[in-house]
Amino acid sequence: MFIGDLEKVVSLLLCLSSRLARVQNAMRKINENTDQSLNERHNLLSRQREDAKDLKENLDRRERVVSGILSRYLTDKQLQDYKHFVQVKTSLLIEQKDLEEQIKFLEEQLESLEKSILL
């Protein structure tokens, strides 16, 4: 159950951070005449990301509790393997999200190129 929650919270944090970065980029492009809806979107995403960070902190505390419980039932080697699994799982989720973002960016570039060729 903990690993499933870890996946959800890490994915949520990464998604919100990505969306927030896109809104910030859009705001920079517009400069002084920033659209009010972009400001509202930025504020909403910022609040949501802070809430997700709180969820992550709670999950980190829960992970310490789970590790404490597992330490009573697992050997040191097994416990190290479990902790390594959790670290690798998190790293892979981050890498997966990064790759998805790169793919999305490249698809957008390809679409833009195709449109410019047709014009």
Question: What tens digit of pLDDT does each residue of 57-106 get?
Answer: 999 999 999 999 999 999 999 999 999 999 999 999 989 988 998 898 89
pLDDT tens profile 20-39 = 888 888 877 776 566 778 88
Q: How many CB atoms lie within 10 A of CB 20?
A: 17
Residues spanned by the domain of 58: 2-118
Contacting residues for 48 by C-beta, under 8 A, at least 6 apart: 16
The structural domain count of the chain equals 1
Residue pointed to by tokens 């890490």: 10
For residue 33, the model assigns a pLDDT of 60
Q: How many CB atoms lie within 10 A of CB 45?
A: 20
For residue 46, the model assigns a pLDDT of 92
| Helix, strand, or coil (residue 27) | helix
pLDDT band of residue 50 (cuts 50, 70, 90) is very high
Residue ranges of alpha helices (H) inside 34-75 are 36-73
**CA gap 42, 11 in Å, rounded:** 19
